[in-house]
Amino acid sequence: MKTQRLLNEYLEGLGLRIKLLRTYLKIDQRAIARHLETVPSQISKIESGKSAPTLHYLLKIKELANQDEYLRENLSWDWLLEGKGRGFL
């Protein structure tokens, strides 16, 4: 049970960071879903912590973030994946 709670907390935090990144980029769930080649409902599940993003999704999110000069310089994998290190806020 403890492991499941930790997993849920991790997914909620990861989803929140993805949502923060998406809103910073001023794109909606439909636009990011197109970029990730998925559906908006899957983005909603990821952002709410109900579903884990695949490695492919994470790479595409970082690719999208790297199109922004500020994010390219300030967004670290540590922050995106674990909420540690350099973020963009």
Domain boundaries, the chain: 2-82
Q: What is the pTM of this model?
A: 0.90
Q: What is the dotted CATH code of the domain comprising 2-82?
A: 1.10.260.40
pLDDT, one tens digit per residue, over 19-78 is: 999 999 999 999 999 999 999 999 999 999 999 999 999 999 999 999 999 999 999 999
Task: Give start and end residues of each alpha helix (H) in the chain.
Answer: 2-24, 29-36, 40-47, 55-65, 69-74, 77-82
SS3 37: coil
pLDDT attached to residue 51:
95
